[in-house]
Structures are given as structure tokens and as C-alpha cells.
Amino acid sequence: MSRAKSVFIGTLTLALVASLASGVTPADPIRIGYVDPLSGPFAATGENGLKQFRFAADAINRAGGVLGRQIEIVPFDNKVSPQESLIQLKKVIGEGIHFVFQGNSSGVAHAISDAVLKHNERNADNRILYLNYSAVDPALTNEKCHFWHFRFDAHADMKMAALTDVIKANTKIRKIYIIGQDYSFGKAVAEAAVSMLGKKRPDIQIVGNELHPIGKVKDFSPYVQKIIASGADAVITGNWGADMVNLAKGANEAGLKAPFYTYYAASDGVTAAIGAAGVDRIRLVHESHPGNPSPPKMVGDYIAAYKKLNPNNDINQPRIHTGLNMLVLAIKRAGTTDVDKVAMALEGMEWTTLSGDHVVMRKDDHQLLMPIYISVHTNKSITYDYDNSGFGLSLESKVEREMATQPAACKMDRPT
């Protein structure tokens, strides 16, 4: 108790010192927190995300920054743990940072979102803005939405709607197995899959609906065995990071031939793990042109420039570019780093992504409305591969923004 208290007072003092020290001279950079895993089973995803943020930030800084100031990405390692994230968030606040990006794990996102809401309600003069670039549990912009949370990725239901459309068209699929990580996002994927398949293809039988502990399973053989035993002829999974790499490894080892419909089965080691066994079999739903075949020029140039600096990483989250640039534009339009004013500027903001898509930040629930792409894992006509493996994603179909939009179900209080 007394220790917690002293830590709290320490944080307060730090915050005070930091607030006195920063924001005085115009040359100070605008610091933007990045709270994501930089160690543990999801470190590969977090590290690559950080590199993509820094790459996007460098481009913005070369173009003169914003309000005459540079921007700086400050990383905080949360080990994908909600508890650890709250500690890191305290640090963020303590260092006088007002903008926080986080994306990996909706479990973490809920914790941060709640904490940001509480903090902002109590500290009207020292608010923070939570910019979610990847946590896609629909609840974050629906029942749990609030004014200081913005999401730059299509949520799980939007993506599942696109995936189930593809499944709907494939009449060969009769039995589907759903496997996911045991937390809010995995559950959201499973729920959406069951309800949407029920409407679009009532003849499809769900032969398995499995949740495994997140980041704990190293050998997926028992799970793959179960999938094979179920006789499934397609698998849906929301797995990401090490859980996707290991699932792909297990499936390859056991010779599982069923097609996979996934959210994150590419890059950060996953593409290399899938390899030749997954060609034309693994599909992925995402937010941007995958770079193959014949990408828009902006996408190609961006990937090439990034690969030059980071030969071992890939641009697998173009939404990072979108999110950071939209924030910077909002700061520019607001003419200040005042969180409430920046948030107001973000509401309804339109932006053209690298892929040339017009996206809109919906005012009602702070969900970015965007088209959705479905791509397949292959090595045919791949210009920009992932994991330097020779394999990559090739675009198969695109759902336009208007079609991908889902109704808003958010009631939020705005600051007056």
C-alpha cells in the first residue's frame, strides 16, 4: 500500500517535472507513445510495428514535421499484458506524452481504453488520446466506445463479413473449424464467424470452435490433430504472432490440407513458416493492397524504401502510416496538441491511403471506414515478398468501403 502510494507520488512528481520541462520551447518534438510488446512471444510483431512507426515518422519529419515541431516515437514494452500496459501507461502520462498508439491484443486495448477514459475524466487539463491501430474487438467502438479512442483498422466483424463472403462463394466447403486465442478478440472472431456463416451459409457445419491460451501453446500438434479428426474442410483463425507461426508449423507437419481463412497469417515469421505448403490455400483479410500483383505506385515505393532500411522486416501494417499521418494532420488542423481539439479534428476526417483508398474516420464511433482486401499466400508473380521467403500475398478481391461499412452502435459523451 505504502509502496504503491510512493510510486504514485513519484509518478506525480515526475509528471510535474516533465510538464515543466517540456512543451515550452517550440523546437521540442511532439512525443508519441508506442505501447506494444517488445519482448516475449509477440515481440516480433511489436518490433516490426515500432520500425514501421519510426519509418512513417521520419518521412513526416523530413517533410517539416507539424506545427514547426518534429515528431518522436517513444516505445514502451507492455509484454502484451494488460497489467503491464497500465504500468506503462502511467509512465507515458508521467513523461508528459499525450498521444498513445497501441494495437497488439484487444485485451490490452480494453485495459488501456478504460484507463484513458478514467484518466481523462479526472484530469481535464492533462488528457491523453488513445490511437488504436490494430486491436479489432468490435466492442471497442461499440458498447465500450468513448471520445478519446480512435481505431484505424477494420474491426473483426467488418473483416469477418468479407471473409464469410468468400467462404459463401466456395461451395466445396461444408465443414468449418474455428480456432482462436482465448481472449476478447479470439472470442469476437468466433462469435462473428458462427453468426455470419449461419446467415450466409446455413448448410455449413461448424465442426469445432476452439479457444487456446494466448501465447502459451508452443506445439500445436494436438490441436491440428483435432482439426484433422473433425473432418473440417476449412479453418478460420484470428491467431497472430507466435500463435500463428506455431499453428502454421503444426499444420504443415501433420500435412493438414484444408484451406485457412485468417486475419494475420503473413509476415513477422508467419509467411516463412507457412512456406510452400500453404500456396493458394491460406487467405488473409486486411486493409491495404498487399503489393502483389502490380501494386499502386505509392505502395510499391513505400515498401521498397522501407525494405532498404529494414531488410529483415516487411510493411505488413500500412494502417500505421494511415494512423500516424491522420494524427499529424489533425494536430495541424487543430493548430495545437491539445488532446480534445485534436480529437475533434480527427472526427470525420478524410484521408487517402497509400493504396489510393479514401477512408473516413466516422464521427459516431471513431471507427475508420475503409475498404477491405482479401489476399492469398503464394509465390507466383510476387514482387514484394514477406520474410524474404519468396512467398507473399497476392490480391484476390476487394470489398469497397461502402460495402464494408457496418452500422455504428456507439453512444459517446463529448467534452463540452
Footprint on this chain of other proteins (rule: CB under 8 A): 38-41, 43-44, 47, 182, 208, 210-213, 216-219, 221-223, 225-226, 228-229, 242, 245-246, 249, 253-255, 269, 272
49 vs 65 by CB, closer to other proteins: 49
275 vs 300 by CB, closer to other proteins: 275
Cβ 182 to other proteins, closest distance in Å? 7
Cis omega before residue 82 (within 30°)? no
Cβ 264 to other proteins, closest distance in Å? 16
Point out which residues pair with 77 in neighbouring strands.
36
Strands (E), 121-228: 129-132, 149-151, 175-181, 205-212
Cβ 255 to other proteins, closest distance in Å? 4
Cβ 226 to other proteins, closest distance in Å? 5
223 φ, ψ to 5°?
-70, -45
Cβ 412 to other proteins, closest distance in Å? 29
| 96, 18 contact by CB (below 8 A) | yes
166 vs 254 by CB, closer to other proteins: 254
223 vs 384 by CB, closer to other proteins: 223
* Widest distance between CA atoms in the chain: 65
Q: How far apart are CA 261 and CA 159, in angstroms?
A: 11
Give the Å distances, CA to CA, from 81 to 20, 32, 308, 366.
31, 20, 33, 25
Cβ 240 to other proteins, closest distance in Å? 14
DSSP string, 57-73: HHHHHHTT-BTTB-EEE
Instruction: Give the sheet arrangement for strand 260-262, strand by strand.
Output: 205-212, 175-181, 234-237, 260-262, 282-286, 372-378, 392-399
Cβ 254 to other proteins, closest distance in Å? 5
257 vs 358 by CB, closer to other proteins: 257
29 vs 40 by CB, closer to other proteins: 40
Give the Å distances, CA to CA, from 39 to 76, 140, 241, 280, 288.
11, 25, 12, 32, 27
If one counts every other C-beta atom within 10 angstroms of the C-beta of residue 2, the result is 6
Cβ 269 to other proteins, closest distance in Å? 7
| 220, 251 contact by CB (below 8 A) | yes
216 vs 297 by CB, closer to other proteins: 216
Nearest to 393 by CA among 297, 305, 310, 287: 287
41 vs 295 by CB, closer to other proteins: 41
